[in-house]
Amino acid sequence: MTHSGATPALEHSFADLPERFYRALAPTPVAAPGPIRVNRALAKSLGLDADWLASEAGTAWLAGNTVAPNSRPLAAAYAGHQFGSFNPQLGDGRAILLGELHWDDGRRMDLQLKGAGRTAWSRGGDGRSPLGPVLREYIVSEAMATLGVPSTRALAAVSTGEPVFRERSLPGAVLARVAASHLRIGSFEFFAARKDKEALEILVRYTLERHYPEQAEGENPALALLESAIRSQASLISRWQLLGFIHGVMNTDNMLLSGETIDYGPCAFMDAFNPDTVFSSIDHAGRYAYRNQPGIAHWNLACLAQALVPVLHEDTEQAVALAQAAVDTYGDQFLEAHTEGLKAKLGLAEDRPEDAALIEDLYTLMANEAVDFTLTFRRLADLASPDTAGNQDCSELYPLPPSFDPWLARWRQRIAAEPVDSQERQAAMYRASPIFIPRNHLVEAAIAAATDRGDFAPFHALVDRLADPWTWRPEDRDFALPPAPEQQVHQTFCGT
């Protein structure tokens, strides 16, 4: 069903929870809302009228200037470990949940406005967002979803016609974000810190019904939720690692129980391969470096397990044992998911004893040579069947250095030993290794053009190009090239 020409009808299952889960409040209107971009494909999947969303009335609704009569907007409560230190009260400081929509397959989805004004948890902030972080999240979250990484989605971006003051005066914007839900590890930590066992039980049931309904009727719902969250996080983080994606701020309030990526503040895709890469301007110790992400997810899941102890078992000792046993499965689950993904990128269908050394030697070589992460794997796909690579061959764009030759000889010998058609192998490798990613320098250039000159053409061009990240076209080479030295971006910022 498409909602045409009128404010969409929303549902409010989260607002039906007890009042201590949130604070009800409406978005703060802005001076002069203007449309930037509507995600038409996503709107269609949600049964929304994209033309109406782009209209004056739709733009006013997306900016928070109009609230439908049946709406129950709110800011959610949560806590979180931030860079390892626990903050018992965080909550939505600049985001307001309007309500819930449904995918065309029936799944319930949150619709949230980010940058919609002050809330009870703004902690002295203005509740607004500069234009840059809105554009960054739109570009990167949509690219991630296209690449098959579970992610929150960008429904629309609108300008506010108001300045936002950070280091300087910046144009303001609001992002309309869609998520399977905004339930976080920090949501459970909030009530665990208050020793509110009833709220934990309510939240466990609600989260299972939202995300893991097949587990909702088990004899130990809290354990089923913990095990489901561990599976989803192991899969998610493996996908990040396989793309060279660095989240930048893996605090427990930024880890969703649905297994989706959220919060695209200081995130970035790695260019030259270095496992110690950090982009976040506030991560001085490298806690959230690329190589640390799998371990940090493990640590975060232990925080979830600890929060669930009161509802895992009446006997605390047994509850802790159940929690520990569940969390201990994460490492193997991550390793299995990551290994399967690497095999796909390297064209390996079978498991062989020598594969671990082959993979380790490749990563050592990549780090020693500081080669481009994305284009190295893409070039291997070309080489899997060089005679048939055809117009997808990116050798002119990015040849591998001669130091790779001995490793390549080993790899060619390894894939030749498998009874797989070389063209089929190559096609599968191309699917596993994009050539176009949201390069940091391109994202920053798009943000600068829009912020400094009001020119949104680079933003739209980048979003359009990233809608097909696998198909190489020489005329788009500037979207695929690594940054020149003067284009390199070494730090990204959260924009709060």
On the question of pLDDT at 2 being above 50, the answer is: no
Angstrom distance (rounded) from CA 351 to CA 392: 28
Angstrom distance (rounded) from CA 375 to CA 289: 21
Nearest to 143 by CA among 39, 1, 254, 64: 39
The pLDDT of residue 490 is 64
Could you tell me what percent of the chain has a pLDDT over 70?
97
On the question of pLDDT at 322 being above 90, the answer is: yes
Q: Could you please report the per-residue DSSP string of 101-117?
A: EE-TTS-EEEEEEET--
Yes or no: say if 225 and 212 are a contact pair by the CB < 8 Å rule.
yes
Residue 367 class from Cβ within 10 Å (0-12 exposed, 13-18 middle, 19+ buried)?
middle
Mean pLDDT to the nearest integer, 282-308: 92
Query: Can you name the residues that pair with 177 across neighbouring β-strands?
Result: 112, 154
The pLDDT of residue 89 is 87
The pLDDT of residue 493 is 55
The predicted-structure confidence for 119-175, as pLDDT tens digits, reads as follows 999 988 899 999 999 999 999 999 999 999 999 999 999 999 999 998 899 999 999
* Greater pLDDT, 391 or 185: 185
The pLDDT of residue 392 is 84
Give the number of C-alpha atoms closer than 13 A to the C-alpha of residue 96, restricted to the C-beta side.
29
On the question of pLDDT at 1 being above 50, the answer is: no
- Residues 95, 101, 104, 105, Cα dihedral to 10°: 90
- Active centre residues (catalytic): 253
* Greater pLDDT, 420 or 56: 56
Angstrom distance (rounded) from CA 394 to CA 383: 10
Yes or no: say if 348 and 319 are a contact pair by the CB < 8 Å rule.
no
The predicted-structure confidence for 195-248, as pLDDT tens digits, reads as follows 999 999 999 999 999 999 998 888 999 999 999 999 999 999 999 999 999 999
Q: Tokens in use for 91?
A: 């909550």
On the question of pLDDT at 496 being above 70, the answer is: no
Ranges 80-94, 152-166, 234-248, 355-369: which has the least confidence: 80-94
Mean pLDDT to the nearest integer, 383-409: 89
